[in-house]
């Protein structure tokens, strides 16, 4: 499914979210309006390493970031592997891969128009909107 967020279209794999499309859209709209800090949607994580990375991303609090290296250290792997898993996240935003950044850059972002949307999401969460 596609959701509108900050003037961008973001694709979410609704089959991985245990909620109706209207509920997903409502929570995304509340997040974009600054009225929601966490999504209370059940998400089916992917199997294997990518699912482990998704679990780490879900644990990053609103308004905070972690580096690819931080997550790699927690999972005893390489930052590049974490980056690949982040890029394959089937439910960006709901599982906040935008909160994962490089040690000295934003890194990448596969949703919407990429890095401009990632920057906008981080700014929204830190109040720099």
86 belongs to the catalytic site: no
5: left (phi over 0), alpha (psi -120 to 50) or beta: beta
Cα distance between residue 116 and residue 103, in whole Å: 18
Task: State the CB neighbour count (10 A cutoff) for residue 78.
Answer: 12
Task: State the CB neighbour count (10 A cutoff) for residue 64.
Answer: 11
Q: Which of 97, 100, 101, 120 is catalytic?
A: 97
Write out the catalytic residue numbers: 97
């Amino acid at each position: 499914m596609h959701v509108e967020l900050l003037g961008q279209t973001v694709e979410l794999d609704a089959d991985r979210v245990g909620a109706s499309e209207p509920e997903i859209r409502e929570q995304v709209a509340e997040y974009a309006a600054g009225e929601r800090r966490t999504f209370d949607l059940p998400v089916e994580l992917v199997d294997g390493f990518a699912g482990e990375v998704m679990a780490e991303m879900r644990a990053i609090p609103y308004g905070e970031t972690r580096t690819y290296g931080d997550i790699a250290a927690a999972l005893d792997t390489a930052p590049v592997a974490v980056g690949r898993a982040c890029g394959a996240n089937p439910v960006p935003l709901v599982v906040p891969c935008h909160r994962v950044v490089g040690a000295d850059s934003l890194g990448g972002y596969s949703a919407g128009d990429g890095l401009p949307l990632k920057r906008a999401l981080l700014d929204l969460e830190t109040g720099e909107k």
